[in-house]
Amino acid sequence: MRMVAGYGQVPSSVHNIVTAQTPAIFSPGLSTEGIYRVSGNKSEMESLQRQFDQDHNLDLAEKDFTVNTVAGAMKSFFSELPDPLVPYNMQIDLVEAHKINDREQKLHALKEVLKKFPKENHEVFKYVISHLNKVSHNNKVNLMTSENLSICFWPTLMRPDFSTMDALTATRTYQTIIELFIQQCPFFFYNRPISEPPGAVPSSPSALASTVPFLTSTPVTSQPSPPQSPPPTPQSPMQPLLPSQLQAEHTL
């Protein structure tokens, strides 16, 4: 899927191709172990790429490609663009923003850089990151956490020049930046509050509410166990599960 583009900006047809591929990945892909990590069949991927070269509106629902084939083709597609989806000049700004020590200030600085992306790049990046965020929320089944997904995707989304020492030393930074975009997708693209880091206990009721969009306003009260001798300690309130924060915002 080779395309010609000006420096830093992807052509509008890229959005059509990406939005055509992700629905074929989305439903079965959420439960596919190692999605985006496990390679697809090379010949099938090449066949899919040829068909997309001929028809950017190809309906994959009518085709018999495996999830890993479609996922692999999409990764290959980004690696073959004339310029990376994350423009090189934006990568410099993202790395500088990532150097900020304060977590909230860092995320806000990254968001400001994101606003400078060319329009088409921003829309496609938003779509891809939203999809990866959705995949990561099912990591107990597919084993693809935001970290694992960022390891798979940052090289194709950013494609740094590894001939320079700066790029070699910044590889971990690039991966972490993409991981933050996946983790904080609702904040970066849907005007939601910053969510707590994975595994962290919300520090306040408001922080808890921001990470659980469908949390009701009525508090859950503790229910003591039936009287025994000696009396047991009352049970703690049930902790709500963390849902996909995009369920109401964006369906891929």
CB neighbours of residue 121 within 10 Å: 23
- Domains present along the chain, CATH in parentheses: 13-190 (1.10.555.10)
What is the residue-level pLDDT of the chain in tens, covering all 252 positions? 333 233 345 555 565 667 666 665 656 778 899 999 998 889 999 888 888 778 767 777 677 788 898 888 888 888 888 899 999 999 999 999 999 999 999 999 999 999 999 999 999 999 999 999 999 999 999 999 999 999 999 999 999 877 765 767 788 999 999 999 999 999 999 999 999 877 665 544 444 444 433 323 333 344 444 444 444 444 444 444 444 443 444 444
Burial label for 115, CB within 10 Å (0-12, 13-18, 19+), is exposed
CB neighbours of residue 105 within 10 Å: 11
Q: What span, in angstroms and rounded, lies between the C-alpha atoms of 243 and 16?
A: 28
Give pLDDT tens digits for 158-183.
998 777 657 677 889 999 999 999 99
The whole model's pTM is what? 0.72
Exposed e or buried b per residue across 161-198, where buried means at least 16 C-beta atoms within 10 angstroms of its C-beta: eeeeeeeeebeeebbebbbbbbbbbbbbbeebebbbee
